[in-house]
Amino acid sequence: MEITFEHVTHSYNVGSPTASLGLDDVSMTIKDKKFTAIVGQTGSGKSTLVRHINALLKPTSGTILAGDRKITSETNNKNLKSLRKNIGMVFQFPESQLFEDTVQKDIMFGPMNFGASEEVAKEAAQKMIKLVGLDESYLQKSPFDLSGGQMRRVAIAGVLASDPETIILDEPTAGLDPVGRAEIMGLFKDLQLKGKTIILITHNMDDVANFADEMAVIHSGKLIATGLPEDVFNRQDLLKEDLLSLPKSAEFAKELSSQGFHFDKLPITIEALGTKIKQQLGD
């Protein structure tokens, strides 16, 4: 699903002394079936941005086009069920949203809420539990008897069970160990390669470098950069102003530059860094 923001502004607490801008005249397009990362400092407006996509927030001014749906300040909450079925959101610490007495019921909740029969919802639960790396024996367990990482997987399975076209990830790997993070990110990359649109909010620049096709940088509610990760991470104006941090591979390349290595562009993945080093060592 292609998603377009057209001059979108969002103001919090309009008319009060605490009024503030969450988004300031943002125009951008999130491409269909691509993996787009949205980065920026804490409080920059990333979460505000993505909550407009499924109308959890409405713009103060401007328009969002999500597929064939238009969202404006006049959009009401009626008839949003089809939009929200097609745009799934995995919140930071999604396990806090678990509430049923079994894993199966928790995963079934989304599909049944959107009109699926009990039989169809059970089939979805059986399929999704495997997709997130757990076997079917977990379906009859209480989600509250699971480890934190397992609860995270169950919560993600619940979002995927409704088969959304677009999946929004708000720091989905927060608190996970490196192995768990790699597995979860690999799952979402695989879903994107199978035709889903993935939108990732993250502070982890290595995840952006390794998984994203496109990236956008938000600062103080403004969109300040978009493009291919390799190009954006080489924007010296952003780096000098501390508006963007670098993936570990690019940081290491900067250190190597002071030791005689030369990089036309900072490599942003381990594979790209290794290739550049081998070329300069004559291998």
Check: CB of residue 198 under 8 Å from CB of residue 192. Answer: yes
Query: pLDDT band at 259, cuts 50/70/90?
Result: confident
Residue 207 lies in a domain: yes
CATH code of the domain in which 208 resides? 3.40.50.300
Q: Which pLDDT score is estimated for 258? A: 87
Query: 228 and 272 share a domain?
Result: no
Percent of the chain at pLDDT exceeding 70: 100
Q: Which pLDDT score is estimated for 95? A: 78
- DSSP letter for each residue of 76-103: -STT-HHHHHHEEEE-SSGGGG--SSSH
Region of poorest pLDDT, from 7-21, 192-206, 247-261: 7-21
Query: Is pLDDT at 283 greater than 70 in this prediction?
Result: no
Query: 32 and 8 share a domain?
Result: yes
Residue 174 lies in a domain: no
Distance of alpha carbon 65 from alpha carbon 5, whole angstroms? 7
Start-end of H helices in the chain: 46-50, 81-86, 103-113, 118-131, 148-160, 178-193, 205-211, 229-232, 236-240, 248-257, 270-281
Taking residues 168-189, report their average pLDDT: 88
Taking residues 191-216, report their average pLDDT: 95
Query: 38 and 77 share a domain?
Result: yes
Residue 80 lies in a domain: yes
Residue 188 lies in a domain: no
Query: Is pLDDT at 173 greater than 90 in this prediction?
Result: no
Query: 264 and 208 share a domain?
Result: no
Query: Is pLDDT at 89 greater than 80 in this prediction?
Result: yes
Q: Which pLDDT score is estimated for 233? A: 96
Residue 264 lies in a domain: yes
pTM: 0.92
Region of poorest pLDDT, from 46-55, 147-156, 193-202: 147-156
Taking residues 143-161, report their average pLDDT: 90
Residue 148 lies in a domain: no
Q: Which pLDDT score is estimated for 107? A: 96
Query: 19 and 88 share a domain?
Result: yes
Percent of the chain at pLDDT exceeding 90: 73
Question: Quick one: how far is CA 266 from the chain centroid?
Answer: 24
Query: Is pLDDT at 165 greater than 90 in this prediction?
Result: yes
Residue 171 bears catalytic tag: yes
Residue 275 structural domain: 246-282
Q: Which pLDDT score is estimated for 148? A: 82
Number of structural domains, the chain?
Answer: 2
123, 171, 241, 271: the catalytic one is: 171
Taking residues 258-281, report their average pLDDT: 91
Query: pLDDT band at 188, cuts 50/70/90?
Result: very high
Check: CB of residue 4 under 8 Å from CB of residue 28. Answer: yes
Query: pLDDT band at 4, cuts 50/70/90?
Result: very high
Query: Is pLDDT at 126 greater than 90 in this prediction?
Result: yes
Distance of alpha carbon 47 from alpha carbon 168, whole angstroms? 10
